Amino acid sequence: MIIITGGAGMIGSMMAWHLNTHLGRQDLVLVDRITHENQWQNLVHRHYAEYLDKDQLFDFLEDNDDITAVIHMGAISATTERDFNKLVADNMHYSQDLWSWCAEHAVPFFYASSAATYGAGEQGYDDASIANLRPLNGYGYSKHFFDQWVMQQAALQQRNPRHPTPPAWAGFKFFNVYGPNEYHKERMASVAFHTFNQVKETGTMRLFKGTKPGVEDGMQLRDFVYVKDVAEVMAFFLQAALRKQPLANDIYNLGTGQARSFKELASNVMTSMGREPHITYIDMPADLQGKYQYFTQAEMGKLRQAGYDKPFTSLEDGISDYVKNYLLQDDPYA
């Protein structure tokens, strides 16, 4: 069985979608704690063996000896979370406990990191090293903390082969993921989703003014990556682990390697809706000032060196698929 924590979330449920539809796997155990009233709908099209609350997982693991991999997507994902104790419990200690269980039982472990660990990007967005990174918020730090802890475990194992680590593992620094099954995320949903809803309601999309010198209105740049590509990359690592094919255990960027502007993103959404682009520029909220990334672009060389050679979906094609095949449908869930 394959465990997917955060299985009712956007990336977790789309990983289950990929395993169902592309690999024919239904031996999935989805783990989550649903807090949004409509989030359960991320599960309705999935085929899986069991659903568990997050607090039931470790008892389940101890009672089952046929776990073949753990895909750990479950976490507090709101970059605006201010309760650091929650971040410690859910993003740090829970992840450490799950890693340790996988190490003890020789089970492959794959987990969600975040591009938020790069902070404002002063050190660039190169996954060759995680040293000297300075996240801008508690969420980013919680992810960075676990990345650091994982690398410490790997270093201990190199010095002492008896130190337990999972037999195969990888962390993925997700950049700006968009696509189906993000509808429960509210403010944290992608700008693509917000554009679709705002245009339906008001006929325009509100984007931030370019408050930083040299940045024009709406021209803040992000590495937007389609959630189906995210699932494809993780499945590549999962299949290698299940086949016992050697891949480098490491932390990998997961973006496209090509930054695009919010203006381009929003314009593509409106075009896919069959509308002429119309954008209104607004001031940045006070709670984001000083904590806002104006540019992200993943360095993708390490992932390519690991053997992943499939092209990433272009922004135009990803937005077209998302809008036409999901958001414009009566049932938008994958």
**Active site (catalytic) residues:** 139, 185
Query: Which residue, 232, 191, 221, 197, is CA-closest to 11?
Result: 232
Question: CA 137, CA 143: separation in Å to the nearest integer?
Answer: 10
Alpha-helix residue ranges (DSSP H) falling in the chain:
10-21, 57-63, 84-87, 94-105, 138-159, 191-202, 227-242, 262-272, 301-305, 315-322
CA distances, 224 to each of 45, 190, 221, 258 (Å):
26, 9, 9, 8
- Are 202 and 142 spatial neighbours (Cβ–Cβ below 8 Å)? no
Structure token pair of residue 154: 């790997």
Residues 209-231 as b or e (16 or more Cβ within 10 Å = b): ebeeeebebbbbbbbbbbbbbbb
Structure token pair of residue 2: 């394959």
Question: CA 177, CA 229: separation in Å to the nearest integer?
Answer: 9
